[in-house]
Amino acid sequence: MEGSSEVNIPPLPSACLDRAGTSSRKVEGKHGTYTGRDIVPMWIAGMDFEAPQPVIEAVVERAKHGIYGYTDAPSGLSDLAVDRLQTIYQSAEPPQRSWLHWIPGLIGGLHYAVRATCDDQAERVAVLTPIYPPFLGSVRSNGATLVQVPLREGGATDSSRQIRFVIDWVLLERELAHPRTRLLHFCNPHNPAGRCWSVEELERVCRMCVANDVSICSDEVWGEMPLSRVAPFTSLLSFLPHTLDGQPAGVEGLRERLMVLISPSKCFNVASLDLALAVVPDDTLRRKYRASGADSAEVTPFGYVAAQAAYGHPDSEAWRQRLISYLQANRDFAFETLTSARGVRATCPEASYLMWIEVPDLGVPAVEFFEQHGVGLTGAVDFGGAANCCRLNFACSRATLKLALDRMLRAMAPSSTL
């Protein structure tokens, strides 16, 4: 634990939905799954906070234009993206504009990577589980063979009640060495494990993939929301071969095999604007990747202008810093509150606003149990996880979070006092 729930609550990054109070402000959509029922929605990976003001202004401005035909990336956006790949993602090779391929969202991006690397059903894709379900779906629905490589617990933690996931190197090596394995479908920072993989872990992953001629698709969408000073985010782009003090550095062979996916979607709460960026340094691999996404929707003009405002405006960056502070405090509050209950363990995520929770056997899957008690979480089974686990989204006001946690504790009280 790096913080404490005792500190004052930081200021909200921006206006926020008030689920705990009497606000009548509503957002339609998937958050509305529980409309008309007294269930606090803490599941889907969107935030209750308004986007940064420059993003809203840009989107409203484009909306007022009135012509909503096909559109291309605005001039200047690619340069902003290249800048970001150098700063936040620390690309070890100067990113070229030619590397960039704008796509309408992350999920399609995962599918295209499978299609770009696998030709038939015998070809295998390795995935570290539990993982965000579209990773699994992208393998299954494109006719490749899915191989789950379960994460294991390990490493030092501040509390026996903290879950910390690490890679099972023996299992991963065995799978990557399989002659038909073509792709490691990788999530960094990892959803739902909440790990910012360390430099050592990442370098080992890269070397293992290269040694076995396996490509890597690295979904780094959560890299914009690091929550830990001791476990910073590191992009796989930083392992591209380069020269350091006259010596070769990075991982030789990674360039030809690397696809990195980024997006402002999660950090700036613009997931529905359908914009992500595939960064593929190698020409041949990028051509295959592009061809694999021929069915994709248009990137919307709103996605483009939102990305421009998110990446390019200093107020958006200030907003992101406030967001990170707010989420750090919410994370610590949620972790301490939940793990005060008997038998409850949880991750203390190093990035993202998603906490993985393990509860004692409650008779029914955890997600059903809490839903019956007024809290809507995400079940673990679709992630390749166990039924006594679930995922909590803490990107909401403290009041909403407290309401949900109170209900969860109260619901578990009988079993925790047994």
Plot region of 184 (φ>0 → left; ψ -120 to 50 → alpha; else → beta): beta
Token pair, residue 368, equals 């059903």
Instruction: Tell the smallest beta-carbon distance from residue 319 to a second copy (Å).
Output: 12
Distance CA 108, CA 127 (A): 17
Which one, 233 or 353, has the nearer CB to a second copy? 353
Nearer to a second copy, 302 or 326 (CB): 302
Name the minimum Å distance from CB 88 to a second copy.
21
How far apart are CB 81 and a second copy at their closest, in Å? 16
Q: Could you tell me the smallest distance in angstroms from the CB atom of residue 298 to a second copy?
A: 5
Give the bridge partners for 251, in sequence order. none
Q: What is the radius of gyration, based on Cα positions, of the chain? A: 21
Which one, 24 or 247, has the nearer CB to a second copy?
24
User: Minimum distance between the CB of residue 308 and a second copy, rounded to whole angstroms?
Assistant: 11
Residue 15 Cβ vs a second copy, minimum distance, rounded to whole Å = 7
The sign one gets for the Cα dihedral 369, 132, 179, 205 is negative
Counting beta carbons within 10 angstroms of the beta carbon of residue 175, is it exposed (0 to 12), middle (13 to 18) or buried (19 or more)?
buried
Q: Which is nearer to a second copy, 230 or 294 (CB)?
A: 294
Helix (H, G, I), strand (E, B) or coil at 162: strand
**Phi then psi dihedrals of residue 375, to 5 deg:** -130, 125
CB of 160 to a second copy, least distance (A): 35
Q: Which of 278, 259, 302 is CA-nearest to residue 103?
A: 278
CB of 134 to a second copy, least distance (A): 8
Q: Of the two residues 77 and 231, which places its CB atom closer to a second copy in the complex?
A: 77
Query: Which C-beta is closer to a second copy: that of 250 or that of 384?
Result: 384
Specify the DSSP class assigned to residue 8: P
Smallest gap, in angstroms, from Cβ of residue 263 to a second copy?
11
Place of tokens 């490749």: 144
Separation CA 388–CA 256 (nearest Å): 40
The total number of residues written for the chain in this structure: 418
* Chain residues that interact with a second copy, rule: CB under 8 A: 14-15, 17, 27-32, 44-51, 56, 59-60, 62-72, 74-75, 104-105, 107-108, 110-112, 134, 137-138, 141-142, 269-274, 291-292, 294-298, 300-302, 306
CA–CA dist 17, 24 (Å, integer): 9
Answer for the pair 222, 266: CB distance below 8 angstroms, yes or no: yes
Minimum CB separation of residue 27 from a second copy in Å reads 5
**Nearest distance in Å: CB 139, a second copy:** 11
Pick the closer one to a second copy by CB: 112 or 165: 112
Phi, psi of 182, rounded to the nearest 5 degrees: -110, -25
| Cα–Cα distance measured from residue 270 to residue 279, given in angstroms and rounded to the nearest whole number | 19
Determine the 3-state secondary structure of 179 from DSSP: coil
Phi, psi of 74 (to 5 degrees): -65, 150
DSSP one-letter code for 51: P
Closer CB to a second copy, residue 234 or residue 400? Answer: 400
Three-state SS at 218: strand
Determine contact, residues 332/355, Cβ cutoff 8 Å: no
Q: Between 110 and 176, whose beta carbon lies closer to a second copy?
A: 110
According to DSSP H, which parts of 276-390 are helical? Answer: 283-292, 301-312, 314-339, 366-372
Closer CB to a second copy, 75 or 247, in the complex: 75
Residue closer to a second copy (CB basis): 161 or 185: 185
